[in-house]
Structure 1
Amino acid sequence: MDGFPIGLVLFALLVVFVIAGLGKTIRIVPQARAGIVERFGKYKATLPAGLNVVVPFVDKVRYMIDLREQVVSFPPQPVITEDNLVVSIDTVIYFQVTDPIAATYEIANYIQAVEQLTMTTLRNIVGGMDLEQTLTSREEINSGLRGVLDEATGKWGIRVNRVEIKGIDPPPSIKDAMEKQMRADRDKRALILTAEGQRQSAILTAEGNKQSAILNAEGDRESQILRAQADRESQILRAQGEGQAIQTVFQAIHDGRPDQSLLAYQYLQMMPQIAKGDANKVWIVPSEIGKALEGLGSTMNSLKGIPDDVDGPAKRVDMGPASLDVAEIESEQKEALARAHDEVAAAIAAAEASTTTPTGTPVTRNAPGDTPPAGDPGEPPAQ
């Protein structure tokens, strides 16, 4: 009974020892990781990803190295340019561990080493550039940093894949000066564009006014020509119409064979018309109006060509039918217009064919269809 508990305890201790030994023997390494195994403080092996077996209590996994690409952002660092201006530059490094053994035993802290190397290299590169070149040469700075870092970190088992500059911040005074310069440049370009636009507008406006003046002048010239031609034709037609009216009235008077009583009647009809004048304020009718009319008749009797009495019945002037058909009126109007056009053309031809005598008196050739005058215009018509 006394030995049973002791054996149970020993068995339990043996089971615990075996479990602990198995725990120290089996090592599971995650994907994209590498385990550095040391035996009694000395490098023994590198464990790949997966299930690995080591000697318990003899081998020890000292470091677990991440083989993935890593990104490290460094805080802004003051850098002096060639023109003695201090700018703050912050960078981002993309690197990857390619040799876990070198990254473990060649350097104590490779991230800190990369940061310090980036700072010194950045100062060397930017120190040979002025501010404007620094602000516009990011790609050149990135290439220079990458080349130096890749060459220096190769022996540490690290490969620098990419270097990026996050920002370059000049001093506040330089920022204000740059903003003023950019604002002045923008104002200058705006003024230049405005002036060019005004010039183009003035040129187009002047060209438009020129074309408008030319067209207005041409229109005025053509309208004056057409108006003159219309006035000439209208005067010719009016003169011909007045001539025809005079001939018609004169012929009607001779055909009617007027006497002294008709002239006295016409005189009486004209007296009210004379009294209608604006300047005639007072009109005196003589008491001897009859004697005045007799005297007027006796005076008119002495005129040639107007007899006291006429023989036979008076000849009436044919005034045409009382009403005409609309079609007949239109046809007559068309015929009258055609005759007027022909007469205007004949008058124009006669005016163009007119010549001047050596003494300076104009002589006009008779147009076709015109009746030559009977005698001297200054002499009275023959009886």
Structure 2
Amino acid sequence: MNIEELFNQLLGGNIVLLVLAALIIIALFKAVRIVPQSEKYVVERFGRLRTVLGPGINVIVPFLDRVRHKVSVLERQLPIHSQDAITSDNVLVQVETSVFYRILEPEKTVYRIRDVDGAISTTVAGIVRSGIGEMELDEVQSNRQQLIAKIKHQVADAVDDWGIEVTRAEILDVNLDNATREAMLQQLNAERARRAQVTEAEGTKRSVELNADAELYAAEQKAKARRISADAEAYATEVVAQAIKEHGIESAQYQVALKQVEAMMEIGKGTGKQTILMPSNIVDAFGDAFKMLKGRA
């Protein structure tokens, strides 16, 4: 064997080894799949579903298994969709909706539905029309949260077979046509005017009630004062009668004369220049008082 034949044999053996090494490297490269946290891989074998790879390092059979679909599991938002609907009281409204969802089971999503966004949009449109058709316009405006909850629940049930979870559904706006908006504005102004009139009437009524209560209170106080004065007069009369009974008529006359003297002394205490009119019998009153006081002494 010459050197040329030996070299050819070594070269042929090295080529085989190189080919085998390349095949092993390619096989390892195809067998190992690193899946990101935000994705899932759908693996097929001979055109049929084999498995779903989760995040991390995964091993598949090279040349037999193939990653057919790479599906993101991040939450997605459908484009804002505007649609017409008619309420139960025959008012045409335009509703803007938005839906958020994420894929939980990609094997269902890729094999059961072609256009996920379009299918969800169509489902939401039908549910919104049905829900608004059962409500009056005032209910649509005031019970928006109830309508949103209903939409989310029904959409979640509808897309469950597609391996999708509806995370949030929103009604962004409910618009009315110009004619309906003007009619509602007139109704709102009329309601405000009615409330203002009611408030004014209630204020007038309250004022009348308060005035009546004040007059009644004043009358009660006057009656109370008269009653107190009458009681005082009755008590004084009773005292005089008791004095007459116990000491005779002279004691009563003495008390009356004494009161007259005290009253005149109070009048005389006034300051400044003043004119005092005194009854003609004031001197007699003083005299009677001194006589009685002397007699009692």
- Relative to the length of structure 1, the TM-score reads 0.50
Q: Identify the match of residue 141 of structure 1 among 147, 150, 164.
A: 147
Correspondence list, 1:217-256, <5 A = 233=260, 238-242=279-283
CA distance in 1, matches of 2:287, 2:104: 115
2:206 matches 1:200: yes
Q: What number of residue pairs does the alignment pair up?
A: 245
Q: Deviations over 1:29-79 (max 9, x none)?
A: 123532101234433221122101234444321212234554435322122
**Equivalent of residue 339 in structure 1, options 267, 279, 289:** 289
Say yes or no: does 1:46 pair with 2:49. no
- Compared with structure 1, are the counterparts of its residues 242 and 166 closer, same or farther at alpha carbon in structure 2 (3 Å cutoff)? same
Counterpart Cα distance in 1 of 2:153 and 2:113: 20
Matched, 1:123 2:73: no
Change (3 A) 1:81 1:206: closer
Label 1:342 to 1:20 Cα distance change in 2 as closer, same or farther (>3 A). Answer: farther
Offset at residue 111 of structure 1 (A)? 2.1
1:60 to 60, 66, 84: 66
SS at 2:159 equivalent:
helix
Instruction: Select the structure with the greater relative contact order (CA < 8 A; seq sep ≥ 6).
Output: 2
1:150 to 141, 153, 156: 156
Q: Is the 8 A contact 1:74 1:115 kept in 2?
A: no
**Equivalent residue, structure 1, for 2:108:** 102
Change (3 A) 1:243 1:98: closer
Instruction: Deviation per CA, 1:11-44: give whole Å up to 9, x if none.
Output: 9888776655443332111235321012344332
Which consecutive residues of structure 1, in runs of 5 or more, have no partner in the other structure?
245-335, 344-367, 370-383
Which among 40, 43, 51 is matched to residue 37 of structure 1?
A: 43
Q: Is 1:169 paired with 2:119?
A: no
Matched to 1:127, the amino acid is G
Would the aligned equivalents of 2:42 and 2:70 in 1 still touch at CA under 8 Å? Answer: yes
Q: 1:78 aligns with which of 73, 80, 84?
A: 84
How much has 1:154 moved relative to structure 2?
A: 2.5
DSSP-derived class of the 2:123 partner: helix
For residues 57 and 84 of structure 1, the distance between their equivalents in structure 2, rounded to whole angstroms, comes to 63
The one-letter code sitting in structure 2 at the alignment partner of 1:165 is: I
User: What do the CA deviations read for 1:315-336 (whole angstroms, capped 9, x no partner)?
Assistant: xxxxxxxxxxxxxxxxxxxxx7
For the residues of structure 2 that align with 1:341 and 1:139, how far apart are their CA atoms?
101
In 1, distance between residues paired with 2:81 and 2:67?
Answer: 33
Which amino acid in the other structure matches residue 202 of structure 2?
E
2:120 is aligned to 114
What SS does the corresponding residue of 2:81 show, helix, strand or coil? Answer: coil
Indicate conservation of the 8 Å contact 1:78/1:88, yes or no: yes
Residues 135/46 of structure 1: CA separation in 2 closer, same or farther (3 Å cut) = same
Distance, in Å, in 1 between the alignment partners of 2:289 and 2:73 is 118
What are the Cα deviations for residues 237-275 of structure 1, in whole angstroms up to 9, with x where unaligned? 85455459xxxxxxxxxxxxxxxxxxxxxxxxxxxxxxx
1:180 pairs with 159, 180, 186, which one?
186
Sort the Cα spacing of 1:337 and 1:24 in 2 relative to 1 into closer, same or farther, 3 A: farther
Q: Is the 8 A contact 2:77 2:98 kept in 1?
A: yes
Deviations 1:200-236 (A, max 9, x none): 22332344345447757958x97xx99xx99x94799
- Per the TM alignment, residue 147 of structure 1 is displaced from its structure 2 partner at its CA by 4.4
Amino acid at match of 1:78: D
* Structure 1 segments of 4+ aligned residues over 6 angstroms from their partners: 9-17, 234-237
Q: What's the CA shift for 1:100?
A: 1.8
Q: Per the alignment, do residues 98 and 211 of structure 1 end up closer, same or farther by CA in structure 2, a change over 3 Å counting? A: closer
1:108 alignment partner, SS class: coil
Task: Give SS of 2:214's match.
Answer: helix
Cα drift, residue 108 of structure 1: 0.9
Closer/same/farther in 2, CA of residues 240 and 82 from structure 1, 3 Å limit: closer
Query: 2: distance between equivalents of 1:148 and 1:241?
Result: 108
d(CA) in 1 for partners of 2:20, 2:175:
67
12 and 179 in structure 1: CA distance in 2 versus 1, 3 angstrom threshold = farther
- The 3 A distance-change label for structure 1 pair 341 and 140 is farther
Unaligned residue ranges in structure 2 (runs of 5+): 234-255, 265-277
Larger relative helix fraction: 2
SS at structure 1 position matched to 2:40: strand
Paired with 2:87 and 2:222, the residues of 1 have a C-alpha distance of 70
